[in-house]
Amino acid sequence: MDDDELLVIRCKLGEREACAELVRAWHPVVERYVARMLGRGDDDAVQEVWIGVFTGLPRLRDTGRFRAWLYTIARRAVVNRLRGVYREARVELLGGSGGSGGPGGSGWSGGSGGSGERPVDPVADLVLDREAVAAGLADLPPLEREVIVLFHLEDLALETCAQVCGVPVGTVKSRLNRARGLLRAALERKGYPA
Distance in angstroms (rounded) separating the CA atoms of residues 145 and 151: 10
Instruction: List pLDDT tens digits, range 82-117.
Output: 876 555 544 454 554 444 333 333 333 333 344 444
Write down the pLDDT at residue 104: 36
Phi and psi, residue 135, nearest 5°: -65, -40
Residue 102 in any domain: the answer is no
Residue 98 in any domain: the answer is no
Residue with the larger pLDDT of the pair 78 and 117: 78
Residue 14: which domain range? 1-93
Residue 169 in any domain: the answer is yes
Give the three-state DSSP class for 154: coil
Q: Is the pLDDT of residue 162 over 70?
A: yes
Indicate whether 139 and 175 sit together in one domain: yes
CA separation, residue 146 to residues 47, 74, 142, 164, 175 (Å): 20, 11, 6, 10, 9
CA separation, residue 149 to residues 27, 141, 158, 191 (Å): 17, 12, 12, 23
Indicate whether 70 and 123 sit together in one domain: no
Write down the pLDDT at residue 82: 83
Residue 158 in any domain: the answer is yes
Whether the CA torsion 36, 39, 43, 48 is positive or negative: it is negative
Specify the pTM.
0.65
Residue 110 in any domain: the answer is no
What is the number of structural domains in the chain? Answer: 2
Write down the pLDDT at residue 14: 93
Of 94-98, 108-112, 128-132, 135-139, least confident by mean pLDDT is 108-112
Of 4-13, 90-99, 184-193, least confident by mean pLDDT is 90-99
Question: What CATH number has the domain bearing residue 76?
Answer: 1.10.1740.10
Distance in angstroms (rounded) separating the CA atoms of residues 35 and 3: 26
Write down the pLDDT at residue 166: 93
